[in-house]
Amino acid sequence: MSQDFVKLKFDDGIAIITISRPASLNALNSSVLAELDSAIAEVRESPAARALIITGEGSKAFVAGADIGEMADLTPDEAVAFSRRGQAVFSAIEHLPIPTIAAVNGYALGGGCELALACDIRISSENARFGQPEVGLGIIPGFGGTVRLPLAIGRSRAAYMILTGKLVSAKEAHEMGLVAEVVPLESLPSRAEELARELGAKSYVAVAYAKRMLFPDDEALAREARRFGQCFESGHPKEGMSAFLERRPAKFSD
Ligand code: COA
């Protein structure tokens, strides 16, 4: 498969995946998801890889979410399948036996926040902003956010983020425990690599078992996908996403 949007490189035992679709703020469309899936498979099959870093291209966005243009016309069944697809790719990241670090270099919204949550540890640049803005689009987080966000920061803070859709700064995300460290943007790659080497030097047997103890409940992910699909039984996703693409406020009247 050609890797137009997802770059994978190996550097002395560290695998680095960069999501690279900057014109759309690295939003996850089907091609990006497929390429990410194949990059993860390559990492899984690389015996020399001791840690993985996932980051975004540029200085503006880590990943600004699932591709809104691609989601606008989904039927409820297609929406469930879309959610399950994203969940499967993110679970593949989570299930890697090696430690994973999200190096969040800008907006991590919707599917971007969920991608960061699928990694074991998040560090971010000072300009990063996190959010689950889906309710403003007429949908719910569908790539694991309703399950992993409360596990990461607790139900109360997760409810605040998911129900208001508000973005939080890197500083606030750090205070909430969503990110472990905040560093200047120019230091993010080197700090991520330093941390990856630190984690990669631990017992990989113990790390793999420790990670497994932290996996979320599969049934909760299945419930999320069903609820994500149910949103599309109403006209709200169409209105919310058209409004975003037309750069106008959404009106959820029916
Ligand atoms: N899906 C598809 N395209 C997206 C996108 C997404 N999630 N996020 C951004 N883009 C596109 C924009 O449509 C725009 O494309 P265009 O130049 O062809 O019009 C381009 O990326 C730049 O985004 P823009 O909105 O112009 O940048 P901004 O600096 O004004 O705002 C954000 C940045 C991140 C605040 C804004 O893009 C945003 O709110 N994105 C959607 C976030 C979201 O709701 N994600 C959850 C999806 S489930």
Q: Could you give the domains of the chain?
A: 6-187 (3.90.226.10)
74 Cβ closer than 6 Å to some ligand 1 atom: no
CB-neighbour burial class of residue 60 (10 A; exposed 0-12, middle 13-18, buried 19+): middle
pLDDT score for 94:
97
65 Cβ closer than 6 Å to some ligand 1 atom: yes
pLDDT score for 1:
73
Closest residue to atom 11 of ligand 1, CA basis: 24
| Cβ contact 84:144 at 8 Å | no
110 Cβ closer than 6 Å to some ligand 1 atom: yes
| Marked catalytic residue, from 94, 134, 193, 224 | 134
In single-letter form, the type of residue at position 84 comes to R
pTM over 0.85: yes
Q: Which helix (H) or strand (E) holds 157?
A: helix 155-164
CA distance 164 to 180: 23
Print pLDDT tens along the chain (254 aa): 788 999 999 999 999 999 999 999 999 999 999 999 999 999 999 999 999 999 999 999 999 999 999 999 999 999 999 999 999 999 999 999 999 999 999 999 999 999 999 999 999 999 999 999 999 999 999 999 999 999 999 999 999 999 999 999 999 999 999 999 999 999 999 999 999 999 999 999 999 999 999 999 999 999 999 999 999 999 999 999 999 999 999 999 87
pLDDT score for 99:
98
